[in-house]
Structure 1
Amino acid sequence: MNLTIDVEHNGAEKIVSLSGEIDAYTAPKLKETLLPLTQESEATVIVDLQQITYMDSTGLGVFISALKSTKEYNNTLKLVNLQDRVYRLFKITGLTEIIAIETDSTVRGGM
C-alpha cells in the first residue's frame, strides 16, 4: 500500500491529509513533506489521519520528529480524525500525553 499526502495552505494553518499506510517504506516520504511545514513561521500543522488504515513505529517516529520541530520553531502540531487502531498506537506509547490529538474533529475547509 502507498501513502497519499495532500497539503493545503490556509494562512498559518497547514492541513496535511493522509491516506493509506504509514510504515518503514512510506515514512520517509511523510517526513520529507511534514518537517518543512513545521519549520514555517507561526505555523499550525494539522494532520488528518482519517484515511490511515495502518501505522507502525516508523510512523510514530515521524510524528515525534515533527513535534520536536514544531517546539523548536514555536509552532503547533495537531493530529485529527484518527482511526481507533491508530489512536491506540499513540495511546499505548504515551504519545497522547505530549501530542495534541483530536479523534472526532472536523478539519476546516471541508476535509
Structure 2
Amino acid sequence: MNMSVKEHQIDQKTKISVSGEIDVYSAPELRETLMPKAEAGEHLEICLKDVTYMDSTGLGVFVGLFKAAQKAGGTLKLENLSERLVRLFEITGLKDIIDISAKSEGGVQ
C-alpha cells in the first residue's frame, strides 16, 4: 500500500494526516515532505490514524522531525495512534520523548 500525506494550516499549527505504510520505501518521501517544515520551526500535529504499518525507518523519520523542530523552536505532536503504534513508541522509549496521543485534535480528514 502506498503512503499519502495531506496537510492544512489551523492558527499557527500545521495539521498533517498520513495514511498507508511508513516503511523503508515510503519513509524518504515522508522525510522530504515534512523535514523543511520542522526545520522552519513549524508546530506540527501529525495524525497517524490511517497508518497501517510502520517500521524502524518510520520511527527514524519522526525522531529526526522531533529533533529538527525542537532545534528550530517548533513542536511535533503525533495524534490518533493505533494501539500497535503506541506500543511501538513505548517499547522503543520514544513515548517519553515525543508527544504522542491516541486522540486527535483535528487532523486533516
TM-score range, shorter chain: over 0.9
Provide Cα deviations, 1:21-70, integer angstroms capped at 9, x if missing partner: 000000001001111111224x2100000000100000000000001101
| Alignment partners' CA distance in 1, 2:12 and 2:103 | 22
Structure 1 position 105, deviation (Å): 2.6
Q: Where do 4+ consecutive residues of structure 1 move more than 4 Å? A: none
TM-score by length of structure 1 reads 0.91
Separation in 2 of the partners of 1:64 and 1:106? 21
Q: Give the Cα–Cα distance (whole angstroms) in 2 for the partners of residues 88 and 27 of structure 1.
A: 20
Please provide the CA RMSD for this pair. Answer: 1.4
Partners of 2:13 and 2:97 lie apart in 1 by 20
Where does structure 2 lack aligned partners over 5 or more consecutive residues? none
Counterpart-to-counterpart distance in 1, 2:104 and 2:2: 25
Gaps of 5+ in 1: none
User: TM-score, normalised to structure 2's length?
Assistant: 0.93
SS at match of 2:45: strand
What is the letter of the counterpart of residue 3 of structure 1?
M
**Aligned positions, number:** 109
Q: Conserved in 1, the CA contact under 8 Å of 2:23 and 2:58?
A: yes
Greater RCO, 1 or 2 (C-alpha within 8 Å, sep 6+): 2
